[in-house]
Amino acid sequence: MSKINFYILLFCFFGIVQLSAQEKSLQGKITNEVDIEGIHVLNISSRFSTITNENGHFSIKANPLDTLLFSSIKYMPEKIVVTEAVFEKGVITVNLSEMVNELDDVFIKPNLSGNISVDLKKIKTEKPINFDDVGIPGFKGVPREKIVPLYFTITPVSIDIEALYKHLSGYYKELKTRRKWEYENNNIAQMLDYYTLPFFISTFNIPENRVYDFLLFCAETTTIESDFKMEHYGSVLFILDEKAKIYAERIAEEFKE
């Protein structure tokens, strides 16, 4: 059997496994004691999403080995894989880590004058050492795994087995989804910080526990992220106004069910 035929069979195997999975609704519970309402739950394998109620309960459709992503403005994003045991039981419990904003250490010298403008100039923060400090060129950004294009995995002279496997197993697809999600989550945090929570509540009548989900809804269906980045605030407000009407209808439908 040639290597190409082997990988074709491998691809078919993953397809059969995926098709044979029986989707059903999982019943979940966030076990944290505070701020457990309105936490966003996303199945990044199927894009189904929901939010938790006031008791931290939620229900979401899933297959075995799907990955659930939990996030809110008060907790660190957390990914949980739906194991076979969890799927069979139909129940999942999750405990999230609180979001902690750490500030750089500030060292204040004694003998301050009491004049704020003068004393502020005396306050120094501890500066981290970087490549420039020691005269060595280097990458200062966050290292990101390179996604090898599928057409580069098989060439006339070689086969990149690891990259091909990551394509066939869905690893690269999940990685792209996670990066998109992290990008959206960062943009939403910036919009929340810019407009503030009371603005969405008073202007668009969005319940406090649904503001985060509302912004995700806007981000996934409009150009609000790029408009906000380019400071097109008029377009941002127009999108918020239009989507708030649709989102209100969605909330009303939920109460009818």
Of 28, 61, 94, which one is at a domain's C-terminal end?
Answer: 94
Write out 9-60 in H/E/C secondary structure: HHHHHHHHHHHHCCCEEEEEEECCCCCCCCCEEEECCCCCEEECCCCCEEEE
Q: Does the residue 87 lie in any domain? A: yes
Select the highest-mean-pLDDT range: 2-11, 27-36, 245-254: 27-36
Q: Which of 15-24, 70-79, 203-212 is the least confident region?
A: 15-24
**Residue 60 within a domain:** yes
What pLDDT score does 13 carry? 45
3-state SS assignment for residue 112 = coil
Q: Domain containing 64: what range?
A: 3-94
Query: How far is C-alpha 250 from the chain's CA centre?
Result: 22
| Measured distance CA(247)–CA(224) in Å, rounded | 15
- The whole-number pLDDT of residue 92 equals 93
- Taking only Cα atoms into account, the Rg of the chain, rounded to an integer number of angstroms, comes to 24
Residues of the chain above pLDDT 70, percent = 69
**Residue 143 DSSP one-character state:** -
User: How many domains does one find in the chain?
Assistant: 2
Tell me, yes or no, whether 11 lies in a domain: yes
- The reported pLDDT for the residue numbered 237 is 93
- Beta-bridge mates of residue 179: none
Domain boundary, last residue among 49, 73, 94 = 94
User: Is the pLDDT at 241 greater than 90, yes or no?
Assistant: yes
